[in-house]
Homo-oligomer: A and B are copies of this chain.
Amino acid sequence: MRSRLFLPKGFFVSGIRSGIGNKVKRDIALIYSEVPCVATGLFTKNRVKGAPVIISKNHLRDGRAQAVIANSGCANACTGNRGIADAETMAYELARQLGIRKEDVLLASTGVIGRFLPMERVREGIRKIARTVGKASKPEFFAEAIMTTDTTPKIISKRFLIQKHKKATICGFAKGAGMVHPDLATLLSFIITDVAINRRLLEKSLKASVEMSFNSLTIDGDTSTNDSVLILANGKAGNERIDIVERDFLEFQNSLDRVMLGLAESIARDGEGATKLVKIIVRNGKSASSARKIARHIASSPLVKTAVYGSDPNWGRLMAAIGSSGIEVNPEGIDIYFGKLQVARNGVGTSYSEGRARQILDKEEVEVTVDLKQGRSGAVVYTCDLTPDYVKINSSYMT
């Protein structure tokens, strides 16, 4: 995770303190590109949507953006017409300060739901952060400013060659998503790149990357009011624009996948109160979707997640989770492994060493494999353990 960071050409990012959340940390963040970018985004499926989501979707209709203004400390969700007006003011204020079109500003907010933004501070913060453009800044400032209960900033960048000799860069930022099966905690991610690519293919690649990264955190379905993944491509790498699915596109897709998978793993590792990254692998299912449904059901089971926390080799809870996933399975055909140690064969416990199983579950990365022996399709889902700290963090979030 701690590899060197590269920013794509023509982008400026920063993060400052504005006092939105009454916290002593940076809370307002800016992405600015020298030139307008091709841009797209993916947003929460929750029927209750935060005002920034509504405005960003609107501003993305033309597939173009030049800046993103994001804040932590207040989600600006469940705030009615006043919330919409506040979000519009944010876009307008930033556009005015930077001399760009209001419609080219995207928004993202995270924090408590149901409270209004302290607009005086927000406006002041926007003016202040607009003045930082071109001055000394660090990508970490941006990542820190979008954090809520995250314990570490999350940034992954990747540099690669495109069209043989053009250097291209992708840089991704994210904030964590609660217990990772984020029944309601907010996931925000921002990807910037200097690759030249058309909008259709940018959208295609974003969807594909999200599917194998964030959507493998059991995130979809139960999404927060404000979940947003935004991507901006400004073409400053100087490559010929990617217009077809060929080598260049695949090169780009591959690098984007690595950035987003890296972010997803760092989110799982930093789940609220988490002590372990848990990888659930389901093999030999009837279909990819049924394998995935089972993997997600296991990954969301509080009983499985607490057992992992306690390094308790309680594989019966896995069997029970598999059986209640809604997918037709043959319990007498299921094999289960902790790491490489087989603990159940054909639905019945093996004579495995409990001490060895504990050792495996004691590690910071735990791999659980379920072999259904039904077909040839599989799925991988990332999650974390459920700990007393998760409860502590979430029982007093507002205050």
Contact = CB atoms under 8 A, between A and B. Distances in A.
Given A80-B332, A80-B348, A113-B316, 20 more contacts: A47-B331, A48-B322, A49-B331, A77-B316, A78-B349, A80-B347, A113-B317, A113-B319, A114-B319, A183-B303, A185-B303, A221-B324, A222-B324, A225-B323, A307-B395, A310-B395, A310-B397, A312-B399, A388-B391, A390-B391
Contacts of A346: 80
A136 interface: no
A39 interface: no
A340 B390 CA distance: 30
A303 B78 contact: no
21 contacts: A47-B324, A48-B331, A80-B347, A113-B316, A113-B319, A114-B314, A114-B316, A183-B303, A183-B321, A184-B301, A221-B324, A224-B320, A224-B324, A225-B319, A225-B320, A306-B390, A306-B391, A307-B395, A386-B391, A387-B391, A387-B395
A350 B102 CA distance: 31
B347 A48 contact: yes
> Shortest 3 CB-CB distances between A and B: which pairs?
A113-B316, A310-B395, A48-B323
A234 B282 CA distance: 48
* This protein's copies in its complex: 2
Given A319-B225, A323-B47, A183 B398 contact: no
Interface size class on chain A is 35 or more
Interface string A195-232: 00000000000000000000000000111110000000
A131 interface: no
Contacts of A391: 306, 309, 386-388, 390-391
Contacts of A328: 47
Interface in A29-84: 45-49, 75, 77-80, 82
A76 to B, nearest CB: 11
Chain B CB count within 10 A is highest, among A47, A221, A307, for: A47
